[in-house]
Structure 1
Amino acid sequence: MKEHKRIILISLVTGALLMVLKFTAYFLTNSNFVLTDAAESIVNVVASAFAFYSIYLAALPRDENHPYGHGKVEFFSVFLEGSLIGIAGLIIILKSAYSFFYPEVIHDLLTGAIIIGATGIINGGLGYYMIRRGKALPSITIEADGRHLLTDTVTSTGLVIGLLLIYFTGILWLDSALSITVGLYILFTGYKLIRRSVAGLMDETDFGIVSDVVKVLGEQRRDEWIDIHNLRAQKYGNELHIDCHLTLPNYFDLNRVHEEVKLVDKMVNREAGITTEFFIHTDPCLPYCCHYCSMPNCPIRSEPKREEIEWTMDKVMRNKKHYEQ
């Protein structure tokens, strides 16, 4: 978690410095468009501060009140960030619409454009870095904060274009038109972050991650693992919790069953790219399993193997043994 905290702290300090620069640009230009970008930078600082706190909470060990850890707080962080981005986008749209009817005198546009352009480049580089590290760690909070910064880069780009167009054409209403367009984009970005956070809080399946786990299980499947079914997954921060049923030969003793379960756990944690906690319920095989069982020299086989059943998302997530499908 040290790297998580370091990345968020860099984002927080950078956001605070860029906020000062953006408000400086506003005081120089008196542009409502610049003011909306400066106001949105406040969102960056607040969101980064809460993200830093959520990373701290997510790193706390499990306790009696939180037996699965504190990782879910990251989804609250993303929800707050998405909500703040959405509010900022709405404010930009409303203020820009207002300026259509009540335009203000603006000046020093080139200086303002240079300042805003510089802040946009810095946010873009930092945002790209945070998204890449957020996926690698993995941390939804860091990734969401990075996407927020990329959104701010788009805002700054639109702002620079608007300021330059106004400077060279003298058409004041372009300021409002472009800012409304950018505001709509920001609003949509906020919606996507909120949608993602709600999905996490509601334990919506992350099919990308589960698909990787199923692929690893299928590629390194042992003869002893007759089938896996009723697989369910929940994410808690950067950890994945999986419940599943594993069918094993019914003549295995308890020690052998325990060893097979450990092998599944170790293999997935080594190969799937995410820390995974397994809760595996073992089922004994039945005579109906023989036609797809690969177990060699089985003393209780009732019929030869005649079918190869590939483990797919659809098959392993059903609450049925493969012979029932």
Structure 2
Amino acid sequence: MSRQRRLVLLSLFTGIGLMIVKFFAYFLTDSSAIFTDAAESIVNVIASGFAFYSIYLSAQPKDENHPYGHGKVEFFSVFLEGGLIFIAGAIILAKACYNLFFPAALTHLEQGIYLIGITSVINFAVGFYIMKRGRALGSITLVADGKHLQVDAYSTVGLILGLLLMRLTGFQWIDVVISIVLGLFILFNGYKLLRQSIGGLMDESDTALVQDVVEILERNRKDEWIDVHNLRVQRYGNELHVDCHLTLPRYLDLIQVHDEISAVDKIVNKEMSVRTEFFVHADPCLPQCCQYCQVGNCPIRSEQFRERISWDTDNVTRNQKHFLYAIAE
């Protein structure tokens, strides 16, 4: 069994155990705020179950119907988790509004606080571990799952503080207010996960990933790499697919061009934290490129070298050679 699936199983079994404890605390106290916490635990369990399946599917090799692999399913997993969190937040708000008009008497509040306090510590520890390992493994599903567990722990801490305040003051309406605030907090976090998943499914550019690739290329650039442009980065699960145009001296033969493209691929794969598949379109240089070309003893140079153009996300992502970019500026 892969490390990703073992981590999701840890999240799943932890979620089931904590859900049972939280519902026991709710039935013990009849607290609307504790019900909020317990209801979100159902989401944790369902989301972890689907995350297990999505990680299994994303690990399957490429096939005829899926030439880019199955990694996109991880965005569906994040979408499901975000949607369930959003629904849970709406249900929690509905129940809180009901209890605002029809309040329930609270019992055994101190025991309930102890129980959910224990679940908060466990949730935070497991969430921190899963999120840390998810980042190391390049899995957005694990990162989302770990972050969700940590958010759950933070909301539980806020809930406990509110219940302690209610116990000190005797104002039972605080219970409903806590439930409403946490419901809105849960809705907001559900929205953020939905936004992330939709962006991934729509191949929205990941600015941080593009920046990482550009910095690697700039740091390791060779004189023969006259410019890089039209660079795009897509994430498929724990793999990246990068394509770009690389301007090379036009007198290079096919073997030399292949060697330069392979060098780009190897450098990026060596320095990126996730496996990267590179597709490079080789462009021949033009006379206008001479002004920023650093190739020494070039047999076809028509202009003197003037300045070195640093590569950044602005000029590398544009679909034009850098002399056109310089003219536009």
TM category (shorter chain) comes to over 0.9
SS for the counterpart of 1:230 is strand
Q: Which amino acid aligns with 1:20?
A: I
CA contact (8 A) 1:224 1:248 kept: yes
Cα distance, 1:105 vs structure 2: 1.1
Cα distance, 1:168 vs structure 2: 2.4
Aligned to 1:315: 315
Worse-superposed segment, 267-276 or 202-211: 267-276
Asked if 1:167 is matched to 2:175, the reply is no
Aligned to 2:101: 101
Aligned to 1:210: 210
Aligned to 1:187: 187
**1:214-233 superposed matches below 5 A:** 214-233=214-233
Asked if 1:296 is matched to 2:291, the reply is no
Distance (whole Å) between structure 1 residues aligned to residue 128 and residue 30 of structure 2: 31
Cα distance, 1:32 vs structure 2: 2.3
Distance (whole Å) between structure 2 residues aligned to residue 284 and residue 163 of structure 1: 69
CA contact (8 A) 2:39 2:92 kept: no
Distance (whole Å) between structure 2 residues aligned to residue 294 and residue 168 of structure 1: 74
Normalised to the residue count of structure 1, the TM-score between the two structures is: 0.98
Distance (whole Å) between structure 2 residues aligned to residue 100 and residue 158 of structure 1: 19
1:128-167: CA deviation from partner (whole Å, max 9, x where unpaired) = 2222222221111001111111121122112212322222
Asked if 1:29 is matched to 2:36, the reply is no
Q: Which amino acid aligns with 1:59?
A: A
- What runs of 5+ residues in structure 1 fail to find an aligned partner? none
Cα distance, 1:275 vs structure 2: 1.3
**1:4-43 superposed matches below 5 A:** 4-43=4-43
Distance (whole Å) between structure 2 residues aligned to residue 40 and residue 323 of structure 1: 55
Distance (whole Å) between structure 2 residues aligned to residue 323 and residue 105 of structure 1: 74
Q: Which amino acid aligns with 1:196?
A: Q
Worse-superposed segment, 196-205 or 127-136: 127-136
Give the aligned length. 325
CA contact (8 A) 1:96 1:180 kept: yes
After the TM superposition, list the runs of 4 or more consecutive aligned residues in structure 1 that deviate by more than 6 angstroms: none
Aligned to 2:178: 178
Distance (whole Å) between structure 1 residues aligned to residue 208 and residue 157 of structure 2: 32
Cα distance, 1:285 vs structure 2: 0.9
CA contact (8 A) 2:209 2:233 kept: no
CA contact (8 A) 2:100 2:176 kept: yes
Aligned to 1:143: 143
CA contact (8 A) 2:244 2:280 kept: yes
Aligned to 2:47: 47
CA contact (8 A) 1:158 1:179 kept: no
CA contact (8 A) 2:22 2:34 kept: yes
Normalised to the residue count of structure 2, the TM-score between the two structures is: 0.97
What RMSD in Å do the two structures reach over aligned CA positions? 1.1
Aligned to 2:118: 118
- What runs of 5+ residues in structure 2 fail to find an aligned partner? none
SS for the counterpart of 2:301 is coil
1:29-69: CA deviation from partner (whole Å, max 9, x where unpaired) = 12222222112111100000000000000000001110000
Q: Which amino acid aligns with 2:12?
A: L
Distance (whole Å) between structure 2 residues aligned to residue 236 and residue 157 of structure 1: 35
1:65-120: CA deviation from partner (whole Å, max 9, x where unpaired) = 10000000000000000111111111111111111110111111010000001001
SS for the counterpart of 2:225 is coil
Distance (whole Å) between structure 2 residues aligned to residue 155 and residue 318 of structure 1: 43
Distance (whole Å) between structure 1 residues aligned to residue 65 and residue 271 of structure 2: 31
Asked if 1:280 is matched to 2:288, the reply is no
